[in-house]
Amino acid sequence: MITEQQLRDILASQFFSGTMPPEFVDFCLAHGRIRHFAPKQYLYFAGDEATTVYFLIAGRVRLYLMGEFTEKIIRVINPPIFFPEVVLDDKPYPHAALCIEEIDVLAIDKQIFKRYLESNPSLLWLFIKELALDLRRSYRQIRNLSLGDARLRLGAKLFALAHVHGQSSKHGVTITIPLSATELAGMCSLARESVSRILSELKEVKLIEIQKKTITVLDMENLRTWIHERAARSQSLD
């Protein structure tokens, strides 16, 4: 179990690039409570009343949109991160949040949190910077999803996942999130059959290796080159 001093150190040194003022840390410790969630537990669903904001201390969470028959994974988040920033507008949660593994969060009542920010408006710059980063990330996702080439779209997603969630191994960079073809299809807005076929092609040209749901990028530079060359060919055909 994490101690209060450990939590104080994590908040002060890791969140918002280590720029949280001491009085803000004190507020979070006074009004927040540590909550533990098991794998496959939901923190909230899309459309639920947004009552709580979270500081992710340990573990990973999958954010996704749920349709009647489909799920679209928006992002997998790692600590340290505050989420979901968008609920500060008093609207419902815009997506679902599912624990990939055991997680610890510092949970704070949203209204108490908002009143503190209203009393300390200089702190809003911390959140503006985080929202700007999220907006840039969304622009990249839109750009990648707008690519007509399904192979390029999936290759770019694998490169991004390996960059953010990769761990060096003797064979290359292993994506530490177990991913099925169906989950990758949801991330890339592709049919599952197309994803399975493209993954087989990438294996054949020795760009990736797959063991069950674990994907390893054998050489990041080779994958980067493959993406750039394919992008150049796609543009030449436009």
Tens of pLDDT along 60-117? 999 988 776 677 888 889 899 999 988 888 899 999 999 999 999 999 999 999 999 9
Indicate if 183 and 207 belong to the same structural domain. Answer: yes
**Residue 110: both structure tokens together:** 């949203």
Cα within 13 Å of Cα(21), Cβ side: 11
Q: For residue range 43-54, list pLDDT tens digits in order.
A: 999 999 999 999
Instruction: Tell whether the torsion through CA atoms of 23, 27, 28 and 33 is positive or negative.
Output: positive
**Residue 2: both structure tokens together:** 């994490």
Res. 238: pLDDT tops 70: no
Indicate if 68 and 102 belong to the same structural domain. Answer: yes
What is the pTM (predicted TM-score) of this model?
Answer: 0.78
Among 108, 123, 143, the domain boundary falls at: 143
Indicate if 74 and 178 belong to the same structural domain. Answer: no
Indicate if 30 and 136 belong to the same structural domain. Answer: yes
- Residues with Cβ within 8 Å of 232's Cβ and at least 6 positions away in sequence, in order, are none
- 144 pLDDT band, cuts 50/70/90, is low
Q: Residue 94's domain spans which residues?
A: 4-143
